[in-house]
Amino acid sequence: MKEIITTPIISTPVRTGATNKETIEYLVYFFFGLLEVLLAFRLILKLTGASITSGFVGFVYGITGIFILPFQGIFRQAYVSTSVLEPSVIVAFFVYILLAWGIVSLLRISSGEKQES
Q: What's the structural domain count of the chain?
A: 1
Under the banding of pLDDT at 50, 70 and 90, the label for residue 14 is confident
The values of phi and psi at residue 18, to 5°, are -80, 150
Residue 94 resides in a domain: yes
Residue 44 lies in a domain: yes
Query: What pLDDT, in 10s, does the model give residues 78-107?
Result: 887 888 888 899 999 999 999 999 999 998
**What does the pLDDT look like over 31-60, one tens digit per residue?**
999 999 999 999 999 999 888 899 999 999
- pTM for this prediction: 0.76
- The number of helix segments (H) and strand segments (E) in the chain equals 3, 2
The verdict on residue 5 lying in a domain is: no
Is residue 3, in this structure, part of any structural domain at all?
A: no
User: Has residue 13 been placed in a domain?
Assistant: no
